[in-house]
Structure 1
Amino acid sequence: GYPDYVNSDVVTVNDVARKAWEAYTGQVIPHDSTWADGELVCWPENNAKDGNYAVPIPYPAPDITVATLDDASVRLRWGRAVESFTHAAGNLMQFNVYRSIHPIGPWKLLKELPLGSVNTELDLYEMIDDDIDFKVGDFAFYAVTSINDQNMESGKTNITRFQKNIGAVAEMDKVYVVPNPFVLNSGFSGTGTEDQIGFYGLPETCTIRIYSFAGQLIDVINHDVPTYSEPFYQVTLNHQVMAPGMYFFVISTPEGDETGGKFVIIK
């Protein structure tokens, strides 16, 4: 959208440029200015390097990290860099933590953290999302905004897509495929998950091989993350959508452990 200084008195790009000049220098440029005759009226040496920044902008959103904990809760952390932002309107007061199943919302407000409420030895802000309605294997989007004492809120410029998970198993045993059978739709929430199939019960490092009923190799998935699941979107090695039918999978680890099973796709 347009910035706040674009209002009913501003109707052309040139007028927008004039308003930007006024916001930066604090000087009013009359509409009979000589900007249009080819003369450069903004000589850098005649103006302060930093300007006045007379624009009512909120504090920026912080840079966030999102991670899964061993109990399947989700941890959000961010630093204190935005507290040092020097050209925002008002005074920074708090941070709002949001979650949504779609990147454009609607957004659910999870928590409000007052300024200075850092709660880790690393001097970071931290929020734990242990909502049981956000299920393991589902995707969601997180965002954290900054709020000042004039109730101005930053944009959600740090939107982060995240899949809720559990830490990898120490020793591979039985691995489960969910949903099984897959019937038309996965049932997972979030965007882009309609065709998702999940492998659950994985160690940190393993290789998943998927075969057709006739024994043809369909895909090879290298799992090398500290989580116990791996999503699969029914796309073959040749980038083709898998046909309905029965499929087999074999999972092996670098230590020589091996397990397998089967799953069914119905469309």
Structure 2
Amino acid sequence: EYLGGQHWIYVFQSGQSVPNGAASRMPPYDAGKFMVDLLIDGGTSNERKVFRDCAWVGSSRSNPDYPMLSVEDGLIPNEARVSLRVARPYFQYSASVLDVDNTTGSANNWDPLYRFSTATVATRSEETAILEDLLEEINVVPNPYYAYSQYEANKIDNRVKIVNLPEQCTVRIYNLSGTLIRTYEKADPLTYLDWDLKNEVNVPIAGGVYIIHVDVPGVGQAVRKWFGIMRPVDLDNF
């Protein structure tokens, strides 16, 4: 079984051999100070600086011949070692000649040579059919809304999220009579927006069914029905 289930091993290489920007790359061994400082500061940019020099990730497995001890006894029954192995050593190999010093007709001088293709996994852009399929992922949560959601900060906060949105789109919210209740013009990298269950003039909506229309320029439209029950404001306990 996997040791503990979630014990992953990360191996990093020094990235300071690059000609430019070496100061922001992973240094030689420094007891983890470089990555700890960046990860404590937080932010996507700092995470990218750390993990762009990650060379290998794997998990450890326990040996069935050495069952784990109790927590009181320290769990691990011996001095733990981590061995990182590849399938074959980095030597010269040939399937056609015995003398690998003879490199006549060889590929890469008989040194290991690997080929792979990202044709089936590469990022595809500007494919309208794929983007249209992603419109199906747009949703409103929670739905139905029973007077409470986990996104609310206090007793007078009413809030739902419209999720899986593209960077640029227009969200319009209507009641069943077709009256426009609220409009959002989204133009940011977030994949969601918060609706505080109020109309354009900041008045709380009534409970009922609403239609949420999402228009994505150049791609298409998505329509979702949402049902909400509003709770009365409890001013006595506010």
TM-score in terms of structure 1 length? 0.37
Max Rg structure? 2
TM-score in terms of structure 2 length? 0.41
- The structure with more helix, counted as a fraction of residues: 2
